[in-house]
Amino acid sequence: MGFIWIAGCSSTLLNELYRTELVPDDYRYGDLYRLSNLAAFKDPKVKCPPYPAGPRQGTKKIALYIIGDSFTEEQRIGQADFAVDKYQFTHWATQLHLNLDTTYTNIIILESVERKVREHFISPINNVIPDTATYINQPEDTRLVSQLDRLFSSAPTEDRLSTILFQFDPMLKIKEWKSWINLHFFDRTDPKVTVSGNGENLIYYETSDSTLITSSFNPVSRSEVDSLVKVINFDKKYLESLGFDQVWFSIIPNKASILMPDYGTYNHLIERISAHPNLVVDQIAVYEDFKKPGKSPYLKGDSHWSCAGQYVWLEKVNRKINKTTTVL
């Protein structure tokens, strides 16, 4: 019991248990299934094969940088998906120390899921720092009080303990029975998920709760859209001043915006930014593509995109890379 308590307090030890497979990956059936335990949305994790980027046109070497969130993080997307010679991903929560090699054509994409747009572009970008070398730095509060606070904070500790004790398949089956009863007899689910009226879709509460600025249904004023566009344009100028040859940005639609647009009054944030007359930054736009009938661009039990949705985005990025290299 002492070991279980220690593992519950330590994310480092828990990650080691994951690595040795002594504890199963609690996201193996999707992040929304993990919250809801609804068997209908149990979606085993599948690694998408690399996108067939094919040969690149042009002869100059290409370096691609992405500042992005969980949609473009390394377990989903990597250098093999792009027709480039150098690749660097940086999460919005980390810092990119940068020393650009000017013998390359340097391209950067600012990627954000829709629910984070109003957070990422409320103020100019501050996590790309010119330096004598290129590397990623994780900002960390080194104060002892903060470290102890994180160590013994009840929510993450309870979450880790739940993973250690209740994420094995036999326990998940019991949790599925409980979730089924709560949904069908009491119309209740985990408060962090929302089930569509027809029961076919599951989304994250941050994209459905209209009181939150992350929601597809939270009102956005014209002046706020103006401000977001102004910041995006400023980011372009700043990144160009650091030596980037191309600056692109891309908004990945909330799952709610595509699969449940009638859940509330959709704020049309993506379209309003994309069509803004003052926007001067090139886009990787997939909103209209994701609305087309066909394979779902999203995973059933997860808030992220499926291989089909991911490939739509990758195809557009690679096409733009090729188009760029032919005119340089």
Domain assignment of residue 38, yes or no: no
Give pTM, 2 decimals. Answer: 0.86
Contact 113, 252 (CB under 8 A): yes
Domain assignment of residue 187, yes or no: no
Domain assignment of residue 129, yes or no: yes
Contact 233, 281 (CB under 8 A): yes
Domain assignment of residue 28, yes or no: no
Domain assignment of residue 201, yes or no: no
Give the CA diameter of the chain: 64
Helical (H) or strand (E) element with 111: strand 105-113
Q: List own/partner pairs for 147-152 with CB under 8 A and 24 or more apart.
A: 151/9, 151/10, 152/9
Q: For the chain, 328 residues long, give each residue's pLDDT as a single digit of tens.
A: 444 434 444 455 545 544 555 566 778 899 999 999 999 999 998 899 999 988 777 778 999 999 999 999 998 999 999 999 999 999 999 999 999 999 999 999 999 999 999 999 999 999 999 999 999 998 765 444 444 444 444 555 555 445 554 565 777 888 889 999 999 998 899 999 999 988 999 999 999 999 999 999 999 999 999 999 999 999 999 999 999 999 999 999 999 999 999 999 999 999 999 999 999 999 999 999 999 988 999 999 999 999 999 999 999 999 999 988 665 5
Domain assignment of residue 266, yes or no: yes
| Domain interval for residue 69 | 62-141+211-327
Where residue 304 sits, what CATH number does that domain have? 3.40.50
Domain count for the chain: 1
Domain assignment of residue 46, yes or no: no
Domain assignment of residue 110, yes or no: yes
